Chains A and B, each alone.
Chain A
Amino acid sequence: MSTTNAEKSSSAPTLPGVDTTTTTTTTTTTESVEPVIVPPAALTATEASAVAPKRGRGRPPKNKTTPGNAATGAPMPTAATPKRSKKKKTPAASDAEPGLFSDGGAVTAAEVQAQIAAGKTPPPAMLMQLPAAEMAQLAIGVGDALATNFGAMRYGESAAAILALSDQEKDMLQVPVAAWIKDALPKLTPIEGIVLILGMLYVPRVGALEIQRLQARKAGRVAA
């Protein structure tokens, strides 16, 4: 829907015999333009054949040459041997057209949760793809696991490390960890949430330090 407003302006200085009345036209478009995000139906799978080349590390192996030839008795190369030109050649462009995205598909939350359910530890990079709301759900799940295993299990140690941040938080050792996380998570930013989860899942002690740093920064902000 568009609306057009036309208004006359006569505020400009006038000259004798010259009509300086101008017309200003303003067009305001309020039409909602929404991008269509659909799978393009016209595409077929046959059109993309690009394959990412394998990239190796380090230098390619040098040609193995032995100094001299023992069988023929040929002498070793001497200083008179012409040196190879050190002029760098321009590398030739490869015809291979790689995908500009990594092989494989983008992660889904279901895949992360399936990994955890199967007892596998998803890589942090995978976990960080989750939206904040899903992270919250995941953290609560992890918190439940912490509560269940609290005390004797290795997660108990990590929970103690994370929670032993202040006297007040030490008291929280007495309450179910899940409840604490449920209470704390909405107050955290997504990044803090990630740090918290990583701290619990992967590197308990480092995670605890990070949490401490975050809290110190927050305290500093408040003090300032």
Chain B
Amino acid sequence: MTKKPRGYELTVIIGATGVGKTSLADATIQKWIKDAAARGAYEVAILDPVAQFAHLGECASWPGRRADGTMDPKDEREPEERAEAWIRAFRLARSRHGLNAPPCLLVLDDADVYMTGSQPRGIWRDLFMTFRHWKCDILIIGRRPQTLPKDAFQSASRVAIFTSRENYGVAYLSEFIGATNVKQVPRAPYQYLLVDLTAQAGETYPAVLLKTKKRAVTVAADTR
């Protein structure tokens, strides 16, 4: 039996290195695929600077990285340029479907590498403002909340927050998730606070403390 349809959503995963972000993202991607496959056609695209999702196949890519995992030495673009080229190509590829585009999961891993905390411009702003019309669910994974666009948090349905090594990073989040929830962010690794931002503003956003399982993740040596 297929489940009821829902709107497109944006989710953010935040936390320090090695606390379980990728493990949670991996489980989330696979659950998304399982749900989507039960309802028909779907697509997955992962902007993957450090090849953490290489095990998912060719849907995980990073401009300039060759099929064998090495980087093209002639490609000297900055990460921001690579990411922008990728997302433009992604939009073009989606638009080719016309009206029959299947639902898509767009994963932006290590977003700190190519995004900034300032107001997004150009195609990034377009993405965060209109991703529902791109027929995309979005999963953003980053280390520091203050280096991700505010628009991402403001458009998010949920935020999963792992422990941070800098107090300011967690405090910064209070603007989006509320001071009460910030105090509940766990200190231990492989635990995270899942905050539901779909509640109406003015209320305390409901949050739940959860654990994620540690999974082996292969990281490419040449990440650039």
Show the binding face of A for B, using Cβ within 8 Å. Answer: 2, 4, 27, 29, 31-43, 45, 47-48, 50, 53, 55, 91-109, 111, 125-126, 128-134, 190
Pair count A-B, CB < 8 A:
198
> Which of A34, A94, A101 has the most chain B CB atoms inside 10 A of its CB?
A101
Asked whether A31 lies within 8 Å of B31 as measured between CB atoms, the reply is: no
Chain B window 82-97, contacts with chain A (Cβ cutoff 8 Å), 1 for yes, 0 for no? 1001100110111000
Asked whether A35 lies within 8 Å of B44 as measured between CB atoms, the reply is: no
Question: Which of A35, A99, A107, A129 contacts B89, CB < 8 Å?
Answer: A35
25 A-B pairs (CB sep. < 8 Å): A32-B89, A38-B44, A39-B37, A39-B44, A39-B59, A40-B33, A42-B56, A48-B27, A55-B208, A98-B208, A98-B210, A100-B13, A100-B158, A103-B3, A106-B9, A106-B36, A106-B103, A106-B137, A107-B6, A109-B99, A111-B5, A125-B7, A128-B132, A129-B135, A132-B133
Bound form: Cα–Cα A92–B193 in Å = 11
Q: Which of B152-205 contact A (CB under 8 A)?
A: 157-158, 160, 184, 186, 188, 191, 194, 196
Asked whether B132 lies within 8 Å of A43 as measured between CB atoms, the reply is: no
Please classify the interface of chain B as helix (H, G, I), strand (E, B), loop, or mixed, using the class held by over half of its residues.
mixed
- Residue on A nearest B134 in the bound complex, by CB: A131
Residues of A within 8 A of B7 (CB): 106-107, 125-126, 128-129
Given contacts A27-B76, A40-B58, A190-B130, 9 further A-B contacts (CB under 8 A): A33-B85, A40-B33, A48-B27, A97-B27, A100-B13, A100-B24, A107-B6, A107-B8, A111-B5
Task: Kindly state whether residue B35 has any CB partner on chain A within 8 Å.
Answer: yes
- Residue on A nearest B104 in the bound complex, by CB: A37
How near does chain B come to A43, taking the closest CB pair, in angstroms? 6
Task: Kindly state whether residue B64 has any CB partner on chain A within 8 Å.
Answer: yes
Bound form: Cα–Cα A108–B190 in Å = 35
Question: A-B pairs with the 9 shortest C-beta distances?
Answer: A33-B63, A104-B3, A48-B31, A106-B103, A37-B45, A107-B5, A48-B30, A34-B89, A105-B39
Residues of B within 8 A of A34 (CB): 89-90, 92-93
Residues of B within 8 A of A47 (CB): 27, 30, 34
Say yes or no: A96-B35 contact (C-beta < 8 A), given A37-B45, A43-B56. Answer: no
Say yes or no: A100-B59 contact (C-beta < 8 A), given A37-B93, A48-B34. Answer: no
Question: Which of B33, B93, B99, B103 contacts A43, CB < 8 Å?
Answer: B33
Asked whether B56 lies within 8 Å of A96 as measured between CB atoms, the reply is: no
Bound form: Cα–Cα A96–B24 in Å = 12
Task: Kindly state whether residue B22 has any CB partner on chain A within 8 Å.
Answer: no
Chain B window 121-158, contacts with chain A (Cβ cutoff 8 Å), 1 for yes, 0 for no? 00000000010111101010000000000000000011
